[in-house]
């Protein structure tokens, strides 16, 4: 089993470094908001707490965040195990996928606004603490792996970054036990629609055999209580496909944890 040392591609890291050098050499006279790109004004509001919005988010976006972020939600899905028995899959979500949160997730996921990671992580932790008994402990945090194409396009494994940020507050280690099979056709091809753009039937078809257990991971999964991490739950097809693999490897329990739930 391998633990990923970096969730960013070399190209992405080089691009970020180049941007920092430009910012240092040619600083903007009027810094802009990370999300809405309006000029940042000194509102006297500074980030408070480990999971606060970053400093470069304007007061207008902070107000939108307070107005649109909902309370934690959960969904009950069903997973068909290899022996034919259905197993329930509970999925926890920090909030509904709407308004300010939807825009923030899109910029974090597609545009490299990784400074939002602590705040998004905080939403997930709220959902976890609201639904999980205090004395219940998971053994593993497992991130849904990206397709090779999407990883190259974005430059970073966004769900892996989330899982890594959850390690310390949840006191649960991250292990890469799931992978995309390299010998089969990738369900998400260059130029094809992303999973969030597909309907339920298309998602199920695309995800058939989309995930496998990494070689040598069986002993870590067998008997483990697994917290399966993803960014957004839409139909639940992705989480269900991953849970099937984990249950097939002998996991005792699998619970999904996401930032947001699409109603």
Residue 261, strand partner residues: 96, 233
pLDDT given at position 189: 39
Distance CA 58, CA 33 (A): 5
pLDDT given at position 184: 47
> Would you say 219 and 230 are in contact if contact means Cβ atoms under 8 Å apart?
no
pLDDT given at position 50: 74
pLDDT given at position 4: 53
| Span 154-175, pLDDT tens digits | 999 999 999 999 999 999 999 9
Output the CA–CA distances (angstroms, integers) from residue 145 to 66, 149, 162, 175, in the order listed: 31, 12, 12, 11
Q: Running along the chain, 263 residues long, what does each successive block of 10 average in pLDDT?
A: 65 69 65 91 66 91 84 91 85 95 96 95 95 88 94 94 97 96 52 53 66 92 98 96 95 97 93
Report pTM.
0.84
> Would you say 56 and 34 are in contact if contact means Cβ atoms under 8 Å apart?
yes
pLDDT given at position 51: 85
> Would you say 219 and 189 are in contact if contact means Cβ atoms under 8 Å apart?
no
| Span 24-75, pLDDT tens digits | 666 666 689 999 999 987 655 666 677 889 999 999 999 999 887 778 999 9
pLDDT given at position 83: 74
Three-class DSSP category at 240? helix
62, two tokens: 């902070």
> Would you say 112 and 156 are in contact if contact means Cβ atoms under 8 Å apart?
yes
């Amino acid at each position: 089993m391998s633990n990923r040392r970096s969730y960013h591609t070399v190209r992405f890291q080089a691009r970020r470094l180049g941007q920092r050098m430009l910012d240092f050499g040619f600083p903007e006279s009027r810094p802009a908001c990370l999300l809405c790109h309006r000029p940042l004004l000194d509102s006297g509001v500074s980030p408070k707490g480990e999971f606060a919005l970053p400093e470069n988010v304007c007061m207008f976006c902070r107000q939108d965040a307070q107005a649109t972020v909902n309370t934690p939600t959960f969904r009950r899905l069903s997973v068909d195990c290899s022996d034919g028995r259905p197993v329930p899959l509970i999925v926890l979500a920090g909030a509904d996928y709407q308004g300010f949160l939807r825009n923030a997730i899109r910029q974090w996921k597609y545009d490299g606004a990784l400074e939002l990671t602590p705040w998004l992580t905080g939403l997930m932790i709220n959902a976890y603490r609201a639904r999980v008994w205090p004395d219940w402990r998971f053994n593993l945090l497992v991130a849904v792996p990206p397709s090779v194409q999407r990883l190259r396009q974005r430059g970073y494994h966004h769900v892996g970054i989330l899982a890594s940020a959850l390690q310390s507050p949840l006191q649960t280690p991250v292990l890469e036990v799931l992978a995309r099979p390299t010998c089969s056709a990738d369900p998400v091809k260059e130029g094809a629609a992303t999973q969030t753009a597909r309907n339920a039937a298309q998602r199920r078809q695309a995800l058939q055999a989309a995930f496998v257990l990494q070689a040598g991971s069986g002993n870590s999964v067998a008997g483990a209580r697994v917290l399966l991490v993803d960014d957004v739950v839409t139909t639940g097809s992705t989480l269900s496909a991953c849970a099937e693999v984990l249950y097939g490897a002998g996991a005792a329990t699998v619970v999904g944890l996401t930032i947001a739930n699409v109603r």
